[in-house]
Structures are given as C-alpha cells and as structure tokens.
Structure 1
Amino acid sequence: MTRSNMALAGALCLLAVLTGVRLLGGDPGIDLQAIFQGDDQEQAILTHFRGPRVILAMMTGAALAMAGTVSQVMLRNPLASPDIIGFTAGASAAAAAAILIFGDISAAMPGALAGGILAACLVFGLAWRDGISPLALVLVGVALNLMLITATDILLSLSPGILASEATRFLTGSFASADWRSAGLMALACLVLGGVLAGLAFPIDRLELGDDLAITLGLAPDRIRFCATVCISLIVAVSVAVAGPIPFIAFLAGPLARLAAARPGTVLGLSAVIGAILGIGADLLATLPIAGARLPAGVFTALIGAPAMLLLLLRLEVDRK
C-alpha cells in the first residue's frame, strides 16, 4: 500500500470516529438502543438536528478543501486559496449587503451566490492580459480581497444595529442553522462541482510544471484555469450561502494532504477527506461551552488556520533561502 493510500485510509477512519462522536455525543447524548426501540425524541434529535448539521459540516469542508487545493496547484502558489484571492470575501460582502438591503437573513443565499461569481469574474477579468498569469491572478485577488473586506466593514458600520447584528452573526460562519435543504444543496454542489474538479485534476497537476510544458503536452492552460475558476467560485458561493464564510479550510486541506501523501499535486480525494475532518472538528468544538457560551465553527477554523498560515509563510521563506 502506498503512503497516499495509507494516509487516505487513516483520514477516513478519523472522519468516521469524529462523525460518530458528533452524531451520538454532546449534550444531550444519543442512546442508540432507544433509537432502535423507536424513541421519537431520540430519533428527532438525530434526524432533524444532528444529521443535517453533520452532513453540512462534512460537505462544506470537503468542497472547500477541493476548491482550495485545486486553486493552489493551478496557480502554483500555496497561499492561493479562495480565502486569500477574494472569492470568499466577494460572497461574504454580497451576502451582508443583501441582508442589510432586504432586511432578511434569507437574502444571504442569493446574495452570496451572486457575490462569489462576480468576485471570480472580476479577478479573472482584471488579471487577463492575452492569457492568465498565475502571479497576476493572485495579486489581483489579494487586492480585491482587501477591498471587499473593507467594504463589508463599512456596510456593517453604517447599518442599523439589529440588521448589523444579523449580518455579523452570519459572517462568523456556522453550521448551527443546518437543515436538510441546506445540507442537500451543499452535498449536490460538492458532488457535481467536485466531480468536475476531479476531471480537471490531471491537467491541473500538469500546470504545476509550467504553462510551456503543459502546452507541449497538448493542454490549454487558460481554458483549464477558466473552467476550474468557475467551479471554485461556485463552490465557495454555495458554501457561504448555506453556512457563512468558514475560513482557512480551503487553505489548510491541500498542504496537509500533500504532506501526508508525500507527493505534489492536487491529491484531491485525500484533500476532500481532510477538509471534511476539519469541518466536523470545527463543528464539534462549536458545541463545547467556553466561558458559558458556544462559539461558531468559523471562529475555530480561523484560530487554527491563521497560525498555520504563518508557519507556511516561514517555511516558504526558509525554503527560498
């Protein structure tokens, strides 16, 4: 068995354990015997609350992980995740604007979908100069990301207190409001768009060797990047629409998968499983009372992701020297 397969098997086992703990543990705990005996209350907790929440956390984590690892390999930059290059910020800003304009949290979903797609179009369009330069796309994305974050802060600052509070709570990122509709939508996006990315994984892995070599192999780098960017922006938009922005899963999953598998490339399957682990793990931490309160999952992914990003930057600096 190769190291990649061993890592995948280990990650699947860990995911199964975390899923079982999240479904059956917590307060209140789930009694399997009572479920088998037909206890309506236990079944309702499992099927109406924990079931969709676990599926949403797993599917969101897996989808963001696939989007992140593909963007990092495609742009030949480990920092080029949707969190950094503006896709997530675009979806978040548009979702916040929709909440504030229409005065209803339900407006966040169409707003996020529109904002994520628009941000991707802006990044791609501004970076286009007779083709797509990976460096130009990253730089444009980072600049747009900062602008969108600032725009979101301005919107929240100028909004009435109740609406600003609703938008702020949405922008922290959480799986607490999961239902079967949101879980099903995220699962569908993960399967369909993830399937497209899986089909693009082979040519995208070739792009890591450089555009000139990819062209000699009969590939069209700009077309591949465009198709992948469309899928990535849609995945991010759907994830923000159903759960709010969940930061750093897209950034972390790919490097962790490549480290565990000890090989370059997208490592798409392992990245997806690691993303699902991060999603479930963050939601599990979100159920723990801290100082009498429960923090949303997005807070925990940020707490883990920010130091990891710093470590990656330091490692890149050491490797460069």
Structure 2
Amino acid sequence: MLLLFLLLSSSLIVLAERCHPDDKAAILKFKNSFSNGPELLPMWSLDRDCCSIFDCDEVINRVVDFSLTYSNLAGTIPDAIGDLTYLKTLRLHKMPFLVGEIPRAVVRLKHVTFFDISWTNVSGHVPPFLAELKSVMFIYLSYNNLSGPIPSSLSTLPNMIGLDLSRNRLVGPIPESFGHLVSPALQGLSLSHNMLSGEIPTSLGNMIIYRIDLSRNNLSGDASMLFGASKNTSEINISRNNFEFDFSRVSFMTETLVTLDVSHNKIYGKIPSQILKAFMLQALNVSYNRLCGEIPSGWKLRYRSDGFDNSSFVHNRCLCGSPLTQCK
C-alpha cells in the first residue's frame, strides 16, 4: 500500500510539472554556464517547475518568455539559450557583468519576436546573422559595447517594426539598404550615441518611420528627406551631428509631430511658418545652427499654451523675434 501511494504521488508530481524536459535542461545549462550561476539562481533547480519561473505556453508547455533583468551573472551568453526553441521573448537587461559576443546559437530561436540584450557589457559586432530571425519584430541592443558597422542584412527582416542600436560604439554609414526595408513601417529607429558617419541614404525618406533618433553621431549632409507634410512621423531627433541643409524648404507633419530636435548642426535658412500648424508639438529645439530671419509667431499648440522659450532658438546666426531679441 505504501509503495502504491509513493508511486501515485510521484506520478502526480510528474503530471503537475508543466516545463518541457528540453527547456528545463536548457535553463539549467544556462545557469551552470556562469561561475556564479548556482549561487545567484538557486531557485533554478531540478525539483522546480521552470514554468513557475518563466512564462510557458499552456498547450505545449514550452518556455515562451525568458526575461532576466538586474542580474549580476558574470560571463558570456551561453549557447544553451538557443535550445529554448519555442521562445518568443528573450530579454537580458541590465546585466553589467554579461560580456563577450552574441552567440550564433540565437539563430535557433525561430519563433522569437522580441529580442532584447541591453544595458550589458556585451561586445563584438552587431551580428549579421540576426537577419535569420524572420519572426522578430523588435531588436533592442542599446547600452552595450558593440562596435563595427551596422549590418545591412537587418533590412531584410520582414516583420521588424522596432530597432534600437543606440549607445554603442558603432561606426560607418547607415546602410543604403535601410531605405529599402522589407518591413513596411517602423515604430522606432534609434541609432543615437554612436560614432556613425557619412550621409543618410536618400531612400530613407521613402520609409514610414514614426520615431527616429539619429542624435549624437557624426552624420553629415542633407537630412531634409526625413521631413514631409504627408508623413506620420511623431518624433525626429537629429541633434549633435554635422547636418547641413536649407531649413526653409522643409515641410512638417502638422497632424503628428510631437518632438523635433535639430540642434547642434549646420542647418541654415529660415524657420518655415508652416511649423505653426504642428499643433501637437510639445518639444522643439533648433538651437546652435545657422538659421536666420524672424521666428514665426502665433503658435496654437494643444499642450503648450506658453509656446517655446529662448533655449529652443539660441545660438543661431541671425534669428530674431520673440522669444529672442526683436528684429531690426
């Protein structure tokens, strides 16, 4: 009777376990790949259902969300991460002691839609093989130590709607292929705080990008193709570069523009009066350029009844009018 009870009890435990054995093995292997893994992750154990730690698909009992944040795990990303083949969300965030390169094993994550390795000390190049993740929608690789060029292969991702490579040490130009993305539109493109150089591909102006941040690089030439009355862009930040173009010829997204920062460039010409129609505008900075002429007046802003102060316009060649000095 006792033997039967023990057998039934063990069967119930097995039945109660939701985590797929392959996923459990991969998670334990991931933990044990770090020298301090067993110490920091004692709850990841053979007798613990990994679906009680990570989100699992209720039908197939496979881990679909592997999110690890604010961890002091020390070492490189182990190949075992690629064994979580049903993963939809990979998030390794704020892990300052995570080093080394992104392993090629991640290409086995054929179902991943959210790929986030950010705020770590991961280094090496942005891997071109990330283009093999055909299901991915968001790639966040910000606040790392990545270097080298932006791989043009990323433009072939058919479902990508968000790309953030900001705050790394990337060099070279924005790939020409980024103006011909397979994905029809991007919610956000952030390449800020790198060492990118050269001109923006003209074709980038043909893309639908709702938020674009190219600030704090060494980009040059014309960026006027990012503007246009027919676009739906809400945020444009191209500050602290070497862009040089005639601002007078720019038209604005009057229905959608919320944030505009073109400061610290070599932009010349006048501020077009059409900007007054951008009633959603909440943040504006055109300072430290070579603009001239009278600042348009008569703002009718939905969220800023006071307009913009002088910090939005200072240090230009000959801008005048409120809130700066009167025009002569």
| TM-score interval, normalised by the smaller of the two chains | under 0.3
TM-score normalised by the chain length of structure 2? 0.19
TM-score normalised by the chain length of structure 1? 0.20
Larger RCO, structure (CA 8 Å, separation 6 or more): 1
Larger Rg belongs to: 2
